[in-house]
Amino acid sequence: MLSRLRIYHDKPVEIGSYIKYKNSMLSQKGFGEVVGIIGSGDRCKYEIIHLNKRLKCIMNTNMKYKTRTVHSKYCKHVNILPTPTPKDHFEIGDVVCYKRMMFPRYGAVVGFTHPDGLYTSSYEEGYNGTDLIECVEVDPRDLTRVRDRNNTIKKFTTTKYRLKLCKVDLWGEHGVTMI
């Protein structure tokens, strides 16, 4: 997703802006969202939260957001162009649509299982394409978990060929729509 960035040279950086930074002295580079501005003029620094390629916050080992303070001369203000995510790349927490026999079911990805019961590398390296995907069924309007008559949560396991990623619009009237 980060391959299609548009760099703004004249637009000022504000809180909530996305920036790309590169520190040549320490050979560090990254991408993040500005959450604070410290100082002004030539001594201006930005406090940022690190984001991954899917614009999700990166957490450190203490389960806190990974932050950094970067000098403004090493930063570039960027705009993210809307690009479709790859259709065969799934992460935990993605909302998906499962179609079988003309009835769509919506779910949230909660895990991966190797078809032969072996250890899977999908948790560390991302979805590898061969594992089965475990999902919890959710209601498409408000994303609450669906329960059966015994008050247990409904789950389903399937391959990547029967799933499609969905875009979630929580603040609009549409709810969940397929990409």
The predicted-structure confidence for 90-99, as pLDDT tens digits, reads as follows 888 888 988 8
Q: Are 167 and 176 in contact (CB under 8 A)?
A: yes
Of 4 and 110, the one with more pLDDT: 110
How many Å separate Cα 128 from the centre of its chain?
17
Give the tens place of pLDDT for each residue, 48-105: 998 876 677 888 888 888 888 888 888 888 877 655 556 667 888 888 988 877 788 8
The Cβ-side half-sphere exposure at 85, using a 13 Å CA radius, reads: 16
pLDDT band, very low/low/confident/very high, at 1 (cuts 50, 70, 90): very low
Predicted model pTM:
0.53
Of 35 and 102, the one with more pLDDT: 35
As a whole number, mean pLDDT of residues 164-175 equals 67
Tokens of 95: 């909302």
CA pair distance 108, 163, nearest whole angstrom: 11
The pLDDT, as a whole number, for residue 30 is 81
Out of 70-84, 121-135, 142-156, give the one with best mean pLDDT.
Answer: 142-156
Q: In 3D, which of 1, 179, 155 has the Cα closest to residue 96?
A: 179
The pLDDT, as a whole number, for residue 151 is 92
